[in-house]
Amino acid sequence: LARHHPHAHQRYIEGQDERHLRQLTLIRDLRDAVSNNELWMAYQPKVTTQTGQVCQFEALMRWRHPSLGFVPPDEFIGLAERSGNIRQLSQWMLEHVAAQLYQWQEEGYRVSVAVNLSASDVSDSRLARQLADLLERYQLAADQFSLEVTESAVMQDIDAAARTLEELSQLGVSIAIDDYGTGYSSLAQLKRLPVNELKIDKSFVLKLDTQDDDLTIVRSTIEMGHSLGLRIVAEGVENAASAALLNRLGCDYLQGYWIAKPMPSDEVAPWLNSVEP
């Protein structure tokens, strides 16, 4: 390769440098993203399969960098975790979502929102106290909050996670395992935790209508989950055929572009009217 393309190696190094430089910039600027008002939350409806009514919204973080533009959370959340900045983002997010729930409540809509937590959040012993304080300050019921944690976040320190999640569960917030099926944990391990819900990862759902092996995995996850008393959500529902299959398999809730994409709070209004009582 080097003989035919003398600069190939050089280009490779430059590509790496560029990526590294971008990461350093993002890590540096993430520290001020909160105070500079560059973050906001997008909301994606989750519907009850049987009725099509909204049962909950998932809150997803968004960042517009002043010069680099939109940065996807898959990129900046990981950087925030590694640079020790994630707790600051999570705290901003929880406060922001609670304030949003309060505002919707004032407008006459009692809504439930699911938020995403990372490994440092679930191993932080102050989290339950902080959430209890939020519920009180914004006059919210615990069942208006649901927490989504990935298997890998929980497995990083399962004892600490078990303690925190137990406290949160005592408060009355509901707990979901996100991206289920992509980690290496077993349902037996997860049963040590006060879990209420499994979210089947979108990689198994996106092509559900054409991939037989995905269908097999999804079917058995729903059966196993139900036999353990868990509610099942499918994320990444992108077409009617997949939605119909999930309905037939008894999947409790659906989420995906076929229903609605994540949207800024000022576009949520029409969906608020379809929230189930």
Quick one: what does residue 73 bind among ligand C2E, Ca ion, none, with the CB cut-off 5 to 8 Å set by partner type?
ligand C2E
Amino acid letter, residue 70? F
Amino acid letter, residue 82? R
Contact between 63 and 92 under an 8 Å Cβ cutoff? The reply is no
> Is residue 151 near Ca ion by the rule CB under 5 A?
no
> Is residue 256 near ligand C2E by the rule CB under 6 A?
yes
Length of the chain: 277
Strands 54-65 and 39-48: antiparallel
Q: Closest residue (Cβ) to Ca ion?
A: 148
Residues 6+ positions from 211 with CB-CB distance below 8 Å: none
> Six-digit token pair at 237?
């529902």
Quick one: what does residue 151 bind among ligand C2E, Ca ion, none, with the CB cut-off 5 to 8 Å set by partner type?
none
Give the x/- contact pattern for ligand C2E in 38-77, rule: CB under 6 A.
------x---------------xx----------xxx--x
Candidate segments 98-106, 115-123, 126-134, 219-227, binder of ligand C2E by CB under 6 A: 115-123
Amino acid letter, residue 110? R
> Six-digit token pair at 92?
């901003």
Site for ligand C2E in 123-152 (CB under 6 A): 148
Looking at residue 247, what DSSP letter applies?
A: H
Quick one: what does residue 256 bind among ligand C2E, Ca ion, none, with the CB cut-off 5 to 8 Å set by partner type?
ligand C2E
> Is residue 84 near ligand C2E by the rule CB under 6 A?
no
Distance CA 129, CA 168 (A): 9
If the CB atoms of residues 29 and 58 are measured against ligand C2E, the closer one turns out to be 58
